[in-house]
Structure 1
Amino acid sequence: MQIDFANLQYQYELYKDEIDTAMQAVLDKANYIMGDEVRELEDNLQNFTGAKHAITCSSGTDALLLAMMALDIEPGDEIITTSFTFIATAETIAFLKAKPVFVDIDEKTYNIDASKIEEKITPKTKAIIPVSLYGQPADMDTIQSIANKHNLKVIVDGAQSFGSTYKDKTDSNLGDISCTSFFPAKPLGCFGDGGAVFTNSDELAAKIKMLRTHGQNKRYHHKYIGMGGRMDTLQCAVVNVKLRHYKKDLALRQEVAAKYTKALQGKDMILPEVEKNRTSAWAQYSVRVKNRDTVQANFKEKGIPAAVHYPMPLHLQECFQYLGYIKGDFPISELISDEIMSLPMNPYVTDEEISYMSEQF
């Protein structure tokens, strides 16, 4: 049996007529930058999430950059975030010459341990960036309470979690600014790079819109130092189509995750858990196994793709050596990085595939 990890080809075939029509409409108009479909997608994203403003951009990484630029993050500022995430979360902080300050994670959700944030706050701290890892939001009530107490901003890195909820609020409607990614393998993906920034602040939204087009407030007049951070019209056309079907696809992801959990109960592993007041977009279905290398080798032989998100926590990455962290500083992050393994996850994983994979453990 050969199993597809993200099954993007199958999804395209499902929506092919709609996607081809939407892309052809862009080609017919040849309006590839800031065309009508960009505004259409932003309106649709606002309606889907309940956020007052949705601003599309060139990637999830650029969404984080735009958020920090909008909040005037400067060299020497400190931003508290998790040590266990994709590098973009902290890379963007460092790119602006601010300092990533890492916090260990909760062993059950793999998200930032909110109880350990406050001890890391200094006079230089300007913001907290929780990550909704694998699709599940972090402990946002506690995080927001700490931010309010210390007058800090909250940027939600929701690159993996579009459509997830925290106490019935969408992940895109949390914090001062929330960011997401439309990278193809994400739960809601385009056919290249793309992302979005969400906020309920009129002031921040206006600034982010200018920042993504080189800080322009009108053509060739630049209010801010900005960037070329637009999402192109073709990619917006693709996401517009997929967004129409997203509630159904999200429900299917929930079903696949539930079937995995049922099939893998009693196996020698730790299964993912979602807190009762949250839902996950299930970007990944990640289990913890003690003998990961052996399991992965067996999977490869049997035609099963598996991935490790992530094999090395950020505090041990070479690029962050200058921060002075050493092995042992964040033991939970280090433990999880040694054991975590993601199984194929998409709305179309079949019962037969789940049964076949479960037999390999």
Structure 2
Amino acid sequence: MDADTALRRIGYVNLPAQFEEERTEIMQAVEGVFRRGDFIGGEAVGKLELELSAYLGTPHVVTLNSGTDALSLAMKALGIGPGDEVITPPNSFVASTASIVAVGATPVFADVLPDQNIDPAAVEAVVTPRTKAIMPVHLTGRMADMNPLMKIADKHSLAVIEDSAQSVGSTYDGRMSGTIGTFGCFSAHPLKNLNAAGDAGFVVTADAELAARIRRLRNHGLINRSDVSEWGTVSRLDTLQAEVLRIRLRHLPSVILRRRRNATQYRQELAGVPLFIPPCRDIEFNTFHTFVVQTDRRNELQKFLATKGIETTIHYPVPIHLQPAAAHLGHRRGAFAVTERQAEEILTLPVNQFLSEFDISYICSSIREYFA
């Protein structure tokens, strides 16, 4: 490693830079919560729900303490449980499948397309009389192909639960992520484009009754201070996190703009390099939660970039169906060929909004150097 490279480090994320950019707003908001003492159920929670509703163009938003709870409570609200099946891809973060198992249902996997999103034809092939819902995962900030998925759901009278954890602000055919299916489930984990200072999430729906049920389920099933209508859980969003998310929701359009700028620069500077970069469709608006390339020399490329001070990661190296926890489902290697091949080839490059044009050029020149 030469002296110039030794001084350069490009991180996958840059949370300290985000805090410096928002320091005054964040500290004022935090101080306000402590002065009021409204740590749970504070006014900011309701305000955030209204602001998210306006941003997404959906009538009902219920804030929760994680994206995983958003998925689980959506299924509970629909009455999905033991004996039921939910179709989902095997290449997501484990939370997608774990939420299905958590309600007692059975995850049924469908393989994915070259862009890493679920294949509608594969979904159609695994629908059974026990299927109750389809859970597409809008991976990397690109939405799944929702029109054919909704046709399948309508044909078989299935609910659609959009795992929108990585796609806040993304659109498909003019509609916002999370607003096409029965439910849209979002994570606001610190690594997301809209990020809290800890765990957080929310669920959106156009159905007032389903939203009301999730509001009960997130608070022990209480309908008032003394009466419990059904057994629930504790999944309330803290007021502190609501205040942070209100600030960051105002900044979200700028965050998305800068990430899309970085993705465009990657595409331009990596043209002709032997990498597969999924193209964007005319009907989609990709917010680039991650920027993922594919190459059969992934491991060697990742090691080379590390010597250049460039941090990369893999989303995700072991498909869910091959995880030890999924052994009871009976899948063997080879069951989902596209997912398994991608798991060996995908590499996530830094795309965060604090990268400069020079940073992206340095990463691209390093990639070109490797392939040269």
**Band of TM-score, shorter chain:** over 0.9
Q: Secondary structure at the match of 2:268?
A: helix
1-side partners of 2:10 and 2:232: how far apart? 43
Deviation at 1:72, TM superposition (A): 0.7
Is 2:221–2:233's contact at 8 Å kept on the other side of the alignment?
yes
2-side partners of 1:219 and 1:174: how far apart? 34
Deviation at 1:248, TM superposition (A): 1.6
Name the structure 2 match of 1:17: 24
Q: Secondary structure at the match of 1:18?
A: helix
- Written as runs of structure 1 = structure 2, the 5 A alignment for 1:281-300 is 281-300=287-306
Q: Does 1:125 align with 2:141?
A: no
Deviation at 1:23, TM superposition (A): 1.4
Structure 2 residue corresponding to 1:197, chosen from 188, 200, 203:
203
**Backbone CA RMSD of aligned residues:** 0.9
Amino acid at match of 2:125: E
What percentage of residue pairs aligned between the two structures are identical?
39
Name the structure 1 match of 2:68: 61
Q: Does 1:90 align with 2:65?
A: no
TM-score by length of 2: 0.95
Structure 1 residue corresponding to 2:154, chosen from 148, 151, 154:
148
1-side partners of 2:154 and 2:271: how far apart? 41
Name the structure 2 match of 1:176: 182
Structure 1: give runs of 5+ residues left out of the alignment: none
Give the aligned length.
360
Name the structure 1 match of 2:230: 224
Q: Does 1:158 align with 2:164?
A: yes
Amino acid at match of 1:201: D
Is 1:7–1:348's contact at 8 Å kept on the other side of the alignment?
yes
Return 128-137 or 211-220, whichever deviates more.
211-220
String of CA shifts for 1:273-325, please: whole Å, max 9, x gaps: 22211111211000012111111111222211100001011111111111111
Is 1:59–1:196's contact at 8 Å kept on the other side of the alignment?
yes
Name the structure 1 match of 2:277: 271
2-side partners of 1:32 and 1:303: how far apart? 41
Name the structure 1 match of 2:5: none
Q: Secondary structure at the match of 2:223?
A: strand
Q: Secondary structure at the match of 1:173?
A: coil
2-side partners of 1:283 and 1:301: how far apart? 25
Return 215-224 or 42-51, whichever deviates more.
215-224
Structure 1 residue corresponding to 2:44, chosen from 28, 37, 40:
37
String of CA shifts for 1:317-344, please: whole Å, max 9, x gaps: 1111111111111100001000000011
Is 1:272–1:285's contact at 8 Å kept on the other side of the alignment?
no
Deviation at 1:49, TM superposition (A): 0.2
Q: Does 1:8 align with 2:18?
A: no
1-side partners of 2:75 and 2:146: how far apart? 19
Deviation at 1:12, TM superposition (A): 1.3
Structure 1 residue corresponding to 2:246, chosen from 222, 240, 247:
240
String of CA shifts for 1:87-141, please: whole Å, max 9, x gaps: 000111011121000000011x210001111121111110000000001111111
Q: Does 1:51 align with 2:58?
A: yes
Amino acid at match of 1:292: R
Q: Secondary structure at the match of 1:126?
A: strand
2-side partners of 1:330 and 1:257: how far apart? 29
Name the structure 2 match of 1:215: 221
1-side partners of 2:38 and 2:246: how far apart? 16
TM-score by length of 1: 0.98
Q: Does 1:330 align with 2:336?
A: yes
- Written as runs of structure 1 = structure 2, the 5 A alignment for 1:293-332 is 293-332=299-338
2-side partners of 1:154 and 1:309: how far apart? 24
Name the structure 1 match of 2:370: none
Q: Does 1:99 align with 2:95?
A: no
Runs of 4+ aligned structure 1 residues displaced above 4 Å come to none
Amino acid at match of 1:36: E
String of CA shifts for 1:5-59, please: whole Å, max 9, x gaps: 1211111111111111111111111111110110010010000000110110001
Q: Secondary structure at the match of 1:147?
A: helix
1-side partners of 2:260 and 2:308: how far apart? 25
Structure 2 residue corresponding to 1:250, chosen from 221, 245, 256:
256
Is 2:163–2:178's contact at 8 Å kept on the other side of the alignment?
no
2-side partners of 1:350 and 1:150: how far apart? 48
String of CA shifts for 1:169-190, please: whole Å, max 9, x gaps: 1102120000000001101101
2-side partners of 1:18 and 1:220: how far apart? 37
